[in-house]
Amino acid sequence: MTDIQFRSDVTLQLDDKMGDDAKVIRMAKASIKKTGGDMDEAARQGFINFLMRERHGVPFEHCAMTLYFEVPIFVMRQLAKHRISSISEASGRYTQMDGVFYRPVAQRPLIQVGRAGAYTFQQGNAYQDGLVQYVLAHASEAAYQEYEGLLEQGIAREVARMVLPVNVYTSGYITINLRSLMNLLSLRTANENATIKGHPQYEIELLAQRMEMYFASEFPLTYAAFEKNGRTAP
Ligand SMILES: Cc1cc2nc3c(=O)[nH]c(=O)nc-3n(C[C@H](O)[C@H](O)[C@H](O)COP(=O)(O)OP(=O)(O)OC[C@H]3O[C@@H](n4cnc5c(N)ncnc54)[C@H](O)[C@@H]3O)c2cc1C
C-alpha cells in the first residue's frame, strides 16, 4: 500500500488577477465618461469608499482573482456553494486520488455547544483530542487501502473513489470577482469588525483568511473600504 500523508492546512496561491483599484474607479466613472485617472490616492480611496457605502456593487465585478487551492473535500463542498465563481477541480474519474488526508491540529475546537444557529465551539480534552487523531488516521488509512485494492482489481476510478472519506484532499482553481469575494469573506470569516459576524467552519475560514490576504495585497483601497463598511458585499 502507498504511504498516505496527513495535512492540517489548506493551500491557496494567487494564480492570476484581473484589474486593480484603478479599474474599479474606471468602471464606475464610465457613467460620466471619465476614467478617474487624474485622482490622487486620497480621492481614489474616498471614491471607492463611496461606492462601497452606497452599495454600487457592479464596478467591483470587473476585477477578479484566480486562486489555486488544495483543500479537503468537505471544504470543497462549502466552497462550491459560492455560485458566483468559476471552479475547475481535479477529476477523481480521470486521475487516481492522492493519499493525502486532512487531520486537524490538536488545538482545533472539537466540542459544539449551544443551540442550532447559535453554536460556539470549545477545546476538547486530552482524550477527545487523541481520539480524533487516532480515528481519523485509522479510517483514512483503511479507506485508502480499500481504494487501492479496488483499483488493483480493475475497478474504475469513478467507482473505487466511493470508499474515500470527505477528509481526502482535492485541488483546483477558483476564479471569483471582488463583489462575490466580499460576500464569501463576510460569510466565511468570523471577524470582530464585521457588522454581521460570520460563523464559518474552522477549515473554510483558514481558506478564506488566505483569500483575504491576497485581496488586501492586490486591491488595497477596495479592501480598506470593505473593512471600513462592515465587511459586507456591496
Ligand atoms: C455558516 C454557514 C452555514 C451554512 N449551512 C448550510 C447548510 O446547512 N446547507 C446548505 O446547503 N448550505 C449551507 N451554507 C451555504 C449557504 O447557504 C450558501 O449557499 C453559501 O454561503 C453561498 O452564499 P451565497 O448564495 O450568498 O453565494 P453565491 O452563490 O456566490 O451568490 C452570491 C450572491 O449572488 C446572489 N445570488 C446567487 N444566486 C442567486 C439566485 N439563484 N437567486 C438570487 N440571487 C442569487 C445572492 O445575492 C448571493 O448572495 C452555509 C453557509 C454558511 C456561511
A 10 A CB-CB count for 173 gives: 16
- The domains found in the chain, sorted by start residue, are 5-102+168-228 (3.30.1360.170)
Percent of the chain with pLDDT over 70: 100
pLDDT at 18 over 90: yes
The DSSP output letter for 207 is H
Closest to 64 in 3D by CA, of 207, 174, 201, 229: 174
Active-site annotation, residues: 188
- Ligand 1 atom closest to the Cα of residue 201 is 1
Q: Is the pTM of this model over 0.95?
A: yes
To test ligand 1's pocket by mutation, which of 61, 79, 187, 207 has the most ligand atoms within 8 angstroms of CB? 187
Sequence-distant (≥ 6) Cβ neighbours of residue 99 within 8 angstroms? 2, 3, 4, 5, 144
pLDDT at 120 over 90: no
pLDDT tens by residue, 198-221: 999 999 999 999 999 999 999 999
User: What does the pLDDT read at residue 166?
Assistant: 98
What the block records as the C-alpha cell of 57 is 456593487
Please give the backbone phi and psi of residue 233, each rounded to the nearest 5 degrees, phi first.
-75, 140
**132, 104 in Cβ contact below 8 A?**
yes
Going by alpha carbons, the residue nearest to atom 34 of ligand 1 is 84
Rounded to the nearest angstrom, the distance between the alpha carbon of 27 and the centre of ligand 1 is 26
